[in-house]
């Protein structure tokens, strides 16, 4: 199968594109960041460019990964968020509609307001509370309204990316290079999601040909504090003290739901199980951070 991937140079694209190639896909990678010579330039905000590229390539399936994922930037630059995450997604969906191409859209488990006592499943009604999650949810609605053949995959707290990792795990590892005390929020929970596992699951579900909406996260729920404690444990930093603290101590521009915990309910109904987040985190740390040492 021939596929076009937007956002190929990002955290998820770096994991998904090689796996697609390994599974026999002919992968055409695009991004606005073309530092990698194998990636061609495509700005998803440019409808004419999008339609021309999709029409010329005529992929068998289109993977739309490109997005503005900086939650606080989205909150302070709403026009930018909606232009990239909503109108950019609309551009891709319209191109897929014009040429009858199935589309894969990557969304977020943060589309819920976090008030449910247990994990959210695919049949719960979203109620996003930040500009980022609103812009992503509007993208979901556009894909559903414009296309018949689509996959929407909601991801949890992403882990992965190696040198491109700008998320929580990378920040903690960087701090541990110079400090032996961590102060970490313990009143927000979610589901860690390893890009490698997420990509494998995406390909598996696509292979089933079962279009629709899915939650894909590693198994289990954690707070940022829980994750930090596991990082310290896995890299053998017994000298580090991890102190739990309320999120009120770290005011941010964008509101975060108290819970982004989800259930991969539809995957379970199909007999697909994700491994625990602890196993995925350990593997990722082994891949990138075996040289982390205690600060002198």
- The pLDDT tens digits for 197-237 are 999 999 999 999 999 999 999 999 999 999 999 999 999 99
- What proportion of the chain, given as a percentage, has pLDDT over 90? 91
pLDDT score at 289 = 63
Tokens 């697609």 identify what position? 20
Residue with more model confidence, 165 or 152: 152
Q: What is the mean pLDDT of the chain?
A: 95
Q: Would you list the domain boundaries of the chain? A: 2-165+192-220+261-275
Residue 296 has pLDDT above 60, yes or no: no
Q: CA nearest 170: which of 181, 161, 157, 183?
A: 161
Half-sphere exposure of 142 (CA within 13 A, CB side): 25
- Give the E-state strand segments of the chain in sequence order: 2-6, 26-31, 40-41, 61-64, 103-108, 150-155, 157-159, 181-185, 189-190, 192-194, 212-216, 222-223, 241-245
At a CB cut-off of 8 Å and minimum separation 6, what does 201 contact? 216, 267, 272, 274
Residue with more model confidence, 288 or 158: 158
pLDDT, one tens digit per residue, over 109-126 is 999 999 999 999 999 999
**Structure tokens belonging to residue 261:** 């915990």
Q: What is the pTM for the complete model shown?
A: 0.95
**Structure tokens belonging to residue 63:** 């993977």
pLDDT, one tens digit per residue, over 4-13 is 999 999 999 9
Q: Taken in order 189, 172, 85, 14, is the CA torsion positive or negative?
A: negative
**Structure tokens belonging to residue 275:** 């491994």
Q: Taken in order 153, 200, 160, 240, is the CA torsion positive or negative?
A: positive
pLDDT, one tens digit per residue, over 69-100 is 999 999 999 999 999 999 999 999 999 999 99
Q: Which fold has domain 2-165+192-220+261-275?
A: Rossmann fold (3.40.50)
């Amino acid at each position: 199968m021939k596929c076009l991937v937007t956002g190929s140079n990002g955290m998820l694209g770096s994991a998904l594109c090689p796996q697609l190639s390994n599974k026999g896909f002919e992968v055409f990678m695009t991004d606005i960041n073309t530092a990698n010579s194998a990636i061609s330039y495509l700005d998803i905000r440019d409808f004419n460019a999008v339609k021309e590229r999709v029409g010329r390539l005529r992929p068998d399936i289109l993977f739309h990964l490109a997005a503005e994922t900086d939650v606080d930037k989205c909150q302070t630059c709403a026009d930018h968020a909606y232009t990239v995450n909503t109108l950019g997604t609309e551009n891709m969906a319209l191109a897929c509609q014009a040429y009858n191409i199935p589309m894969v859209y990557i969304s977020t488990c943060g589309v819920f307001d976090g008030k449910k006592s247990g994990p959210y499943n695919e049949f719960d009604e979203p109620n996003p509370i930040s500009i980022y999650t609103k812009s992503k949810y509007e993208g979901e609605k556009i894909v559903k309204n414009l296309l018949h053949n689509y996959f929407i995959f909601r991801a949890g707290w992403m882990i992965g990316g190696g040198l491109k990792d700008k998320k929580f795990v990378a920040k903690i590892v960087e701090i541990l290079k110079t400090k032996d005390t961590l102060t970490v929020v313990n009143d927000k929970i979610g589901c860690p999601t390893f890009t490698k596992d997420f990509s494998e699951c995406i390909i598996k579900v696509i292979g089933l040909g079962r279009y629709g909406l899915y939650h894909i996260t590693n198994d289990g729920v954690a707070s940022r504090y829980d994750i930090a404690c596991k990082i310290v444990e896995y890299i053998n930093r017994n000298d580090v003290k991890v102190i739990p603290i309320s999120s009120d101590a770290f005011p941010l521009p964008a509101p975060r739901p108290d819970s982004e915990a989800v259930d991969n309910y539809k995957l379970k109904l199909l007999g697909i199980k994700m491994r625990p987040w602890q196993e995925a985190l350990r593997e990722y740390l082994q891949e990138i951070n075996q040289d982390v040492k205690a600060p002198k």
